[in-house]
Structure 1
């Protein structure tokens, strides 16, 4: 049986050398082990709809949902999907695309949107949504815009389902609100009201869109079930969305007319 600490300290000087001999760290508890190395787990490849169905679903999303929940900039999103094919190299963006498909599939009559081996209309969209993963293996990387958009799309998909009354989807959106608020505030403070680069305006606008949509979801849920909200009205110290349609965000012929809505 190991001696008590007081007995082991008797006769040793109270300095670093003496303490190192007394306070022995057992390697089985203090030395790093292979299982302590937390990496991103191996995940199965994402399975996307066929290209014709993918185009239909994206078109349905922007015609049925985007004008209510403006999370994206349509021309940019379509370019990232069909030209850059970002969803094949960026897993978070790929999951966001699947969340777009899961929501849009509710407005589609294509039987390919049904869950595998199911004929129930309630299974529509779940073949895409079940591929989405929310638990992160590490918090060493900051949350991206695509991830915040993913949480907003997930709330939109889960709300009318049997999981809509569960607390966990809504609890997961609260840190996203704080993060998006911090990012928008930082971008606005750095700009001091003047934007040197057009891409900075686009980035800030997309973050604001994600923040406003999440705030709307969270406040609506709080009012509905009587829960406190994450950001009260006095804390919403960021600008409203620009009153400019998506097609006028860019003007290749005259960059000075970007973000100016024609009268």
Structure 2
């Protein structure tokens, strides 16, 4: 009797055996992993370092195809911060890590297999690597696919009832979903496309504010229990996600393709003014709620806190630009609203540039390249084509902030 398509594992003809991966030499492999967890992980809380490193030591990447792809992506991202000539695919820094990233199969051969945390992590890492290439816009479809697969797995309703109910696997799913969500918002606003999901469609928990070393039981501390008095690096991510939800509200209210018909006699101009005021108020509340160590302080002695604050405040200013840029109009058709919008966008752009300058002077060449690259990216797509700006302003108004 023929075996049912839905009984047990997938039929072999649907899952052809993948080609074996070619990993970096062992010393280079650990060198690139170290760079990733030093330069990228503090600002991308996606992978649990102790679990990841144990899995590599035990050779999981040699038998698990999805985890092997994650290892290759980590190596490709780490190669961007390495001076080792072996990381170059061709004789140029632009190809750093490409020989490992090109092996990854980003589209699964079938949609029957159960989605794993490693697969969702891979979509996040692909975004990080490709955002510094000319293929960045292609990741929009990958992020959407990642969100759909996460929803298919039920991650969007994942709610551990208490801290003790949290597991490492659940936490990895939660973090991957929120990162995919934030990337979807950034790309949607940048490319002018709708999101793959909205805040009304999921209610999973926020990531635990607990550093990697406290995920497991240590001494008298229970799992996922941050020691009292020790500031978690993950609190940065909590504030970032709150800012992303404001950006999602901007996308839904100001840039919606269709809006409900107005039946209260309010003119379109007045309605737009109300929308802008609502989003500005939300941004002001977010800024006021930041704790002191998360506010921008150029002389912050802790380099990780400095870089995290730069990402937070740069993203804050980027959202300001998204709120206001649609209301900058041609000088020939001036309106009272256009001048405040122009001034706010100019001030926000200058603030981002100043922060980038501080980071460049405070960090080493490699660290500055990594962090500043995550703080700001210039793109013509961030400004409506109908705007006519002075040259000294246009170079700043094209700033986009990406996590």
Normalised TM-score (structure 1): 0.76
**Contact 2:156–2:177 at 8 Å: present in 1 too?**
no
CA 1:250–1:137 in 2, change beyond 3 Å: closer, same or farther? same
Matched, 1:89 2:63: yes
Aligned residues: 217
Secondary structure of the corresponding residue to residue 165 of structure 1? helix
**Contact 2:73–2:100 at 8 Å: present in 1 too?**
yes
CA drift of 1:45 comes to 1.2
Matched, 1:69 2:44: yes
Matched, 1:157 2:129: yes
Equivalent residue for 1:223, pick from 183, 189, 198:
189
Secondary structure of the corresponding residue to residue 167 of structure 2? helix
Which residue in 1 is equivalent to 2:171? 205
Which residue in 2 is equivalent to 1:125? 97
Which residue in 1 is equivalent to 2:141? 171
**Contact 1:81–1:87 at 8 Å: present in 2 too?**
yes
Q: CA RMSD in A?
A: 2.0
CA 1:44–1:58 in 2, change beyond 3 Å: closer, same or farther? same
Which residue in 2 is equivalent to 1:108? 82
Normalised TM-score (structure 2): 0.51
CA 1:90–1:155 in 2, change beyond 3 Å: closer, same or farther? same
CA drift of 1:62 comes to 0.9
**Contact 1:38–1:137 at 8 Å: present in 2 too?**
no
**Contact 1:183–1:207 at 8 Å: present in 2 too?**
no
CA 1:45–1:79 in 2, change beyond 3 Å: closer, same or farther? same
User: Which range moves more in the overlay, 136-145 or 155-164?
Assistant: 136-145
Matched, 1:261 2:226: yes
C-alpha offsets along residues 208-258 of structure 1, whole Å, 9 cap, x if unaligned?
11011111111101111111111223334222111111111112434x522
Which residue in 2 is equivalent to 1:214? 180
Secondary structure of the corresponding residue to residue 136 of structure 2? coil
Secondary structure of the corresponding residue to residue 213 of structure 1? helix
**Contact 1:38–1:138 at 8 Å: present in 2 too?**
no
Question: CA–CA distance in 1 between the matches of 2:198 and 2:108?
Answer: 28
CA drift of 1:185 comes to 4.1
C-alpha offsets along residues 48-104 of structure 1, whole Å, 9 cap, x if unaligned?
11111111111111111111111111111111111x210011111101100111111
Which residue in 2 is equivalent to 1:21? none
**Contact 1:148–1:176 at 8 Å: present in 2 too?**
yes
Secondary structure of the corresponding residue to residue 42 of structure 2? coil
CA drift of 1:195 comes to 6.6
Matched, 1:251 2:217: yes
Secondary structure of the corresponding residue to residue 67 of structure 1? helix
Matched, 1:184 2:152: no
**Contact 2:210–2:225 at 8 Å: present in 1 too?**
yes
Structure 2: gaps spanning 5 or more residues: 1-10, 230-403
Secondary structure of the corresponding residue to residue 146 of structure 1? helix
Which residue in 1 is equivalent to 2:306? none
Tell me which of the two structures has the higher relative contact order, counting C-alpha pairs closer than 8 angstroms and 6 or more residues apart.
1
**Contact 2:33–2:74 at 8 Å: present in 1 too?**
yes
Larger Rg over CA atoms? 1
Structure 1: gaps spanning 5 or more residues: 1-35
Matched, 1:47 2:22: yes
User: Which range moves more in the overlay, 209-218 or 171-180?
Assistant: 171-180
